[in-house]
Amino acid sequence: MTGLGGLLATAGLPGLLRPAFAQTLAMAELRGGFDAADAGILPGTEDDQSRKLQDLIDRAASVGQPVFLPAGTYEVANLELRDGSRIVGVPGLTRLVYRGDGHLIAAQDIGRASLSGITFDGANRWLADYTEGLLSFRSVADIVIDGCEIVGSRKCGIYLARSGGGIADTRISGAAEAGIWAIEGKAFFIRDNQVFDCGNGGILVHRWTKGEDGTVITGNRVARIGATNGGTGQFGNGINVFRADNVLVSENHVSDCAFSAIRANSASNITISGNQAFRSGETAVYAEFEFEAALITGNLIDGAAIGISVANFDQGGRLSTVSNNIIRRVVNKGPYVPTISSFGFGISVEADTLVSGNLVESAETAALAIGWGPYLRNVIVSDNILRGSPQGIRVSVVEGARQTVIRDNIIEGAGQGAIVGYRWKERVGGELADDESAYPHLSITDNARIAS
């Protein structure tokens, strides 16, 4: 993974020169506020200024005023936000450096707090067992982090549990675990952030128990996410939604993740739309395990071991639309040796799914994989363009597979068969012709088959 030196040398923050933010900083935000310099808190000294800054935070919150930190570096640790705390710095120039022995910033069981225009530097120092992140928030009704930077955390960059509010226009890099880890959010938003060079995850939206979450994840740029803890997809995902229902993942740019660009596990009513995913190590876009209702539409995927997978009908995964996606350059090579199926599929689905209007080009195994053994039910595959794969459509013909319609697709250059039947991993017979299927669960009509 890329070190922090290069990132810190170009630490210009996204969105911080917006006129609206500058006006807020210069006028309304700080009117009547507490200036750290007036309280004897001076940047650039080696003294621990934690006690002075904590006192200032407490006094300002008690009278409903913000704290302004002038440009410079302040060495602090174990700061606690109070209800109503607002801390504002000079974007790119105000820096809080963690001294060690606990955490940097935390808040718990309060109503509202905000952080704006501050760089938080964990200096890769040890964090206490009681905290999961350099910045940690628990049961905060409305926490807003805007225009900040978080670097060098030994755990997560930002950790939130049972909190509302959101994170915007913030840059997070060099976290040993995840950049952002939000658990049991309350209609949270994560928008227009940059998350780079994190050890085990980019943006994680999780729940301890499956239920409505409502987080909106949009406009973020996520890149170079590793899986230092190993595994087969538990780590290494750019955006990971787990047990969180009613989540929107839209218009994000995700690249160079060890596993998935976007991975939704047991997440019902999820929308994954308009995203770009480049060079994913495993499945680029994944909806898996216990979920009902996944809308996957309008995504651009270039480079993956599987483009889009909607899987685990055996564990309740069902009900989806996979439409109008472009998928290119899918390779038959992943980050582990597969024990069930294989890699190299453009789109793979199983149950209660419409696969329509997609363009799949150059998938090394097959453009589409429809069903797995008996796990196939109520699938329509129509109006897709499938080019340059050895097989166009691979469909399950195992006993117990249920109604599947394959119609009006254009399949070009499938030298091993445009539409072929499979029993698990084994091919059955030759190419399946239109209107001549020997399998009662299959309806195959009006497909255009073009030689390369």
Region at 176 (left for phi over 0; alpha for psi -120 to 50; beta for the rest): alpha
**Which pLDDT score, from 0 to 100, does residue 32 have?**
66
20 in helix, strand or coil? helix
CA distances from 298 to 273, 319, 346 (A): 5, 18, 15
Residue with tokens 């994680």: 204
- 4-14+93-450 adopts what CATH topology? Pectate Lyase C-like (2.160.20)
**Which pLDDT score, from 0 to 100, does residue 13 have?**
37
Rounded Cα distance between 397 and 404, Å, is 10
Q: What is the identity of the amino acid at 354?
A: L
DSSP assignment of 185-217 equals -SS-EEES-EEEEESSEEEEEEEEEEEE---EE
- From 245, 250, 241, 239, select the one nearest 272 (Cα to Cα): 250
8 in helix, strand or coil? helix
Q: What is the identity of the amino acid at 422?
A: Y
Q: Which residues of 80-117 are buried (b: 16+ CB within 10 A; e: fewer)?
A: ebbebbbbbbbbbebbbbbbbebbbbbbeebebbbbbb
Q: What is the identity of the amino acid at 43?
A: P
Structure tokens at 84: 């109503």
Tell me phi and psi for residue 190, to 5 degrees: -135, 100
Residue with tokens 């639309």: 321
**Which pLDDT score, from 0 to 100, does residue 33 have?**
84
**Which pLDDT score, from 0 to 100, does residue 339 have?**
78
**Which pLDDT score, from 0 to 100, does residue 3 have?**
35
State the Cα angle at 131 between 288 and 110, rounded to 5°: 95
- Tell me if 367 sits within 8 A of 411, measured CB to CB: yes
Rounded Cα distance between 158 and 164, Å, is 14
DSSP assignment of 351-383 equals EEEEEES-EEEEESSEEEEE-BTTB-EEEEEES
**Which pLDDT score, from 0 to 100, does residue 31 have?**
56
Contacts made by residues 307-310, CB under 8 angstroms, sequence distance 24+: 307/283, 307/345, 307/346, 307/347, 307/360, 307/363, 308/283, 308/284, 308/346, 308/347, 308/348, 309/283, 309/285, 309/345, 309/347, 309/348, 309/349, 310/348, 310/349, 310/350, 310/353
Rounded Cα distance between 11 and 8, Å, is 5
Rounded Cα distance between 26 and 101, Å, is 35
Rounded Cα distance between 316 and 344, Å, is 24
Q: What is the identity of the amino acid at 161?
A: A
- Tell me if 153 sits within 8 A of 168, measured CB to CB: no
Structure tokens at 360: 């799949």
Residue with tokens 């024990």: 339
- Tell me if 181 sits within 8 A of 161, measured CB to CB: no
Structure tokens at 408: 């009006």
Structure tokens at 65: 């005023």
Model pLDDT for residues 264-284, shown as the tens digit of each residue: 999 999 999 999 999 999 999
Rounded Cα distance between 128 and 389, Å, is 51
Positions in the chain short of pLDDT 50: 1-28
**Which pLDDT score, from 0 to 100, does residue 2 have?**
34
Q: What is the identity of the amino acid at 121?
A: D
pTM, entire model: 0.92
Q: What is the identity of the amino acid at 426?
A: E
Model pLDDT for residues 18-60, shown as the tens digit of each residue: 333 333 344 335 556 899 999 889 898 877 899 999 999 999 9
CB-based contacts of 107, cutoff 8 Å, min separation 6: 80, 81, 82, 85, 113, 136, 137, 138, 140, 143
